[in-house]
Structure formats: C-alpha cells, structure tokens
C-alpha cells in the first residue's frame, strides 16, 4: 500500500523522539494493513478517519484519508489536546 504524507504530518514526526516514532510506525502499519481500522468522521471532517493508539500512557490520534484501495494519505498526528482544531486548519 502506498502511504502519502502531508507537510503537517511530516513536520510533527520530525519533532518526535526515536522511541515515539516506533509507536507511530506501528499505527501506520496497522492502517496500511486495514484502512478501515479508524473511526470515520462526519460533517465538516467527512472523508477523514481517526485511528486512536496509546503512547506512553497517553492517547494519540492519527488522522488519515483513504485515497484508493492502494493508497492512504496521513494528515495529522498528535495527542488529543487541540487535535481537531489543528486538523480543521489543514
């Protein structure tokens, strides 16, 4: 499966430590194996799915959009605090 990333996602990943990136890698792998794993949003976030995962006793969210059967675009990743506000900016 082809994984595309937005500049916002790439910027967020650059700020993380190596041990945190391992959690992100596991989440991305889970999405690539089953794109329907996330919760589909409605309303102004229609077409976007959110995958929740735990990182060091904190819930993190990863927003993505399924482009086709063979490609997924990763939009935003981060803790729940201000996540949806940042997602709506993009």
**Cβ-contact 88, 44 below 8 angstroms:** yes
pTM of the full structure = 0.91
State the CATH number of the domain containing residue 26: 3.30.2310.20
Whether the Cβ atoms of residue 63 and residue 87 lie closer than 8 Å to each other: yes
pLDDT at 90 over 80: no
Domain assignment of residue 36, given as a range? 2-89
**Number of domains within the chain:** 1
pLDDT, one tens digit per residue, over 37-63 is 999 999 989 999 999 999 989 999 999
Cα distance from N-terminal residue to C-terminal residue, the chain: 24
């Amino acid at each position: 499966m082809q994984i595309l990333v937005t500049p916002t996602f790439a910027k967020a990943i650059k700020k993380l430590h190596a041990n945190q990136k391992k959690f992100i890698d596991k989440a991305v792998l889970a999405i690539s194996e089953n794109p329907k794993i996330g919760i589909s949003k409605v309303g102004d976030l229609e077409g976007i799915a959110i995958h929740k995962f735990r990182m060091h006793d904190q819930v993190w969210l990863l927003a993505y959009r399924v482009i086709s059967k063979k490609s997924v675009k990763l939009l935003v990743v981060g803790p729940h605090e201000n996540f949806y506000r940042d997602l709506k900016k993009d």
